[in-house]
A and B are shown apart, each in its own frame.
Chain A
């Protein structure tokens, strides 16, 4: 049996325009890796977006894709990190059916997962939950008996646990000519 492929977290800081996003996603499509949970949101700097996704693949293939992204006009920064070096969170919104007979039990489940109630009607609840993907999966399974009417799930957003982990490029060694002693 071959080893399971490691999961890496790819983050891309890019100019905040659809054409650059299109370019980035096009490169990811071309490299055809197992990309999961793609999330795009505002970046830390003005005029920039931040794209985050997980990639379960051979690290060499991920590095080739990251290198292709790095030389794309409009891409400002690319990092690849092992998932284990990151804190990841996903956001889940749910619309649930409830009835007077089941509400108490349902509230217990939601409390266990620290899900918050956003809206309530006599028959339905809108709730949100955040957490890593396994936790949200577990919540969804726990809610199945109660009737999930609709669900929306954002892709994972990721933060490296330490500054050292976020050093970026992890490819082969390179040296710029300026660094070469004469």
Chain B
């Protein structure tokens, strides 16, 4: 808490806001100045401990704060002015909300006297962001600044994390008041303002009984395990029961790849043996996951033989999408540890042998010299696995999820719930500040990369050494794949032109490499890693490569598509 001044200081609202950010342990913020937030930007240089990163777009600031939060477990902070600055944060806040990421957004607002008069750059950002934030507050007077900012940080991080927006009118930033630092060691938690939940006894005993009796138990691990730092406890539970483990898209890296119990990712692009394990299981133990439709496919046909134990910190998730036999509300770490302690030790060898029989050689699914698997293997080899992979959204996201062998906890970061194209590059900038000195790779398709590639300038200006990989197939590949499979190969608005990425890199003054065949991959990746600053590697992959297997939208996990439909005449 260095930098907190003496007790009796009269400061402006903007200065107090800076002190509050310091008090909350903020070390870096991502933002973009403008009229209604100018007092805060005027005050910032007085507090050199608050590093500000000027992004090239407010959306990128929100994603960077999100990336920082996901990698560090601490709240990520983004700042924007009123009006367009605030509205540009929206996609980033929705992304953070869907993936339970603790982001605190501070927006300037027009002065109080102008609110409601359609003033220049006035928007009702609270109204706009109500459904896509965990909470949002307007600071209506400088006396509210301390309590509301402290409450914002508390709400963002307590329980199931999420984004909180704090809207501060410009004249409140200019009001004067005495700065009263927080006394004590911890931030004052806001009074618990949530409704309580009933807790019928006996649920835990029933969960243990179900686990002890199951012949085909399956553990599904989601992001709650990463958020709750429950790696060891979940692993202990799996190992004690000999229970196979599957990791959802956001649960990837919550359980080590290559562990004999680890099966992979389920759902729409899950491997056949993973989805068949779900369909054959007699018990699902779901920890910190929410049965997203991309996991379940057709709910009516999902896990037809299984009872379900659902462990989640958020009671509203229990029974939301899937009927639950036993719901346990609590921290993944606590519940997994107690379950591991209570269940009988065993080895579900027969069940695991059965699942092994479902396995297919996944290499059959990837064709050509520049197979995604080859590229990801080389990145893993060259980095020694000691890096964070931040993926964008689309085909490459599925390849990166399934084919990269994650060993380190929380080493895979992606936009799962909202599926936000353009996420990877700015989020990776945030990851860098959470893990300085560690390599960060932002892997995008050519579509998603072009959504936020302006952030290369931010990296150059701020010295952010993110390595960018572009899987370039000249298409919005996942949409094109759907068009190929379900829309008669009518490639409507999916072919996408790209600039010369090597020249683009050159224009920004960074290293850029184009990789056209597999023999070049290793050298390009190694050279990019050696660069002290940001670097870009473009991989020219097969144009019509597909992600297999695939469960059709709304289809059953039992009915995967494992090859492309025969080429029919294009729809007239």
Contacts and interface: CB of A to CB of B under 8 A. Distances in A.
A15 B137 CA distance: 14
A22 B197 CA distance: 23
A27 B134 CA distance: 12
Contact of A168 (B126, B136, B198, B341): B198
Interface string A26-40: 110010000000000
Given A64-B320, A71-B315, A78-B195, A174 B126 contact: no
Contacts, number: 107
A74 interface: yes
B256 to A, nearest CB: 25
Contacts of B335: 177, 180
B193 A15 contact: yes
A177 B338 contact: yes
Nearest to A30: B131
A30 B130 CA distance: 11
Interface in A115-160: none
Interface string A74-118: 111110000000000000000000000000000000000000000
B193 A174 contact: no
B316 A19 contact: no
Nearest to A175: B203
Interface in A1-44: 13, 15, 19, 22-23, 26-27, 30
B21 to A, nearest CB: 21
Given A23-B130, A171-B318, A176 B195 contact: no
Contacts of B201: 175, 179
Nearest to B326: A173
B332 to A, nearest CB: 10
A53 to B, nearest CB: 17
A175 B193 contact: no
B546 interface: no
Contacts of B138: 19
Contact of B195 (A30, A76, A171, A173): A76
A31 B256 CA distance: 38
For chain B, give the interface size range.
Answer: 35 or more
A175 B338 contact: no
Interface in B183-214: 193-205
Contacts of B372: none
B180 interface: no
A165 interface: no
A173 B323 CA distance: 11
Contact of B200 (A64, A71, A174, A181): A174
B155 interface: yes
Given A19-B138, A176-B330, A179-B204, A26 B130 contact: yes
B199 A176 contact: yes
A78 B470 CA distance: 49
B135 A73 contact: yes
Contacts of A30: 131
Interface in B300-358: 314-316, 318-320, 324, 326-331, 334-335, 338, 341
A68 interface: yes
A48 B552 CA distance: 48
Contacts of B566: none
A74 B198 contact: no
B200 A175 contact: yes
A67 B199 contact: no
A177 B342 CA distance: 14
Given A177-B331, A179-B204, A172 B324 contact: yes
A182 interface: yes
A13, A15, A60, A177: residue with the most chain B Cβ atoms closer than 10 Å: A177
Given A70-B194, A75-B195, A180-B335, A173 B330 contact: no
Nearest to B200: A173
A24 to B, nearest CB: 10
Contact of B329 (A22, A60, A176): A176
Nearest to B130: A26
Nearest to B160: A71
Contacts of B203: 173-175
A167 B194 contact: no
A15 B338 CA distance: 36
Contacts of B194: 70-73, 75
A30, A67, A172: residue with the most chain B Cβ atoms closer than 10 Å: A172
Which 10 pairs from chain A and chain B are nearest by CB? A177-B330, A67-B316, A175-B203, A172-B319, A180-B204, A174-B329, A70-B195, A177-B334, A176-B199, A73-B135
Given A67-B315, A70-B197, 14 more contacts: A64-B320, A68-B316, A71-B160, A73-B193, A75-B193, A76-B195, A77-B195, A173-B203, A174-B199, A174-B200, A175-B204, A175-B327, A175-B328, A177-B331
Interface of B: 126-127, 130-131, 134-138, 155, 160, 193-205, 314-316, 318-320, 324, 326-331, 334-335, 338, 341
30 contacts: A19-B138, A22-B127, A23-B130, A60-B319, A63-B319, A67-B315, A67-B316, A67-B320, A70-B315, A70-B316, A71-B194, A71-B315, A74-B193, A75-B195, A76-B193, A77-B195, A167-B198, A169-B198, A171-B315, A171-B318, A172-B319, A173-B326, A174-B315, A175-B327, A176-B197, A176-B330, A177-B330, A179-B199, A180-B334, A181-B204
Interface of A: 13, 15, 19, 22-23, 26-27, 30, 60, 63-64, 67-78, 167-169, 171-177, 179-182
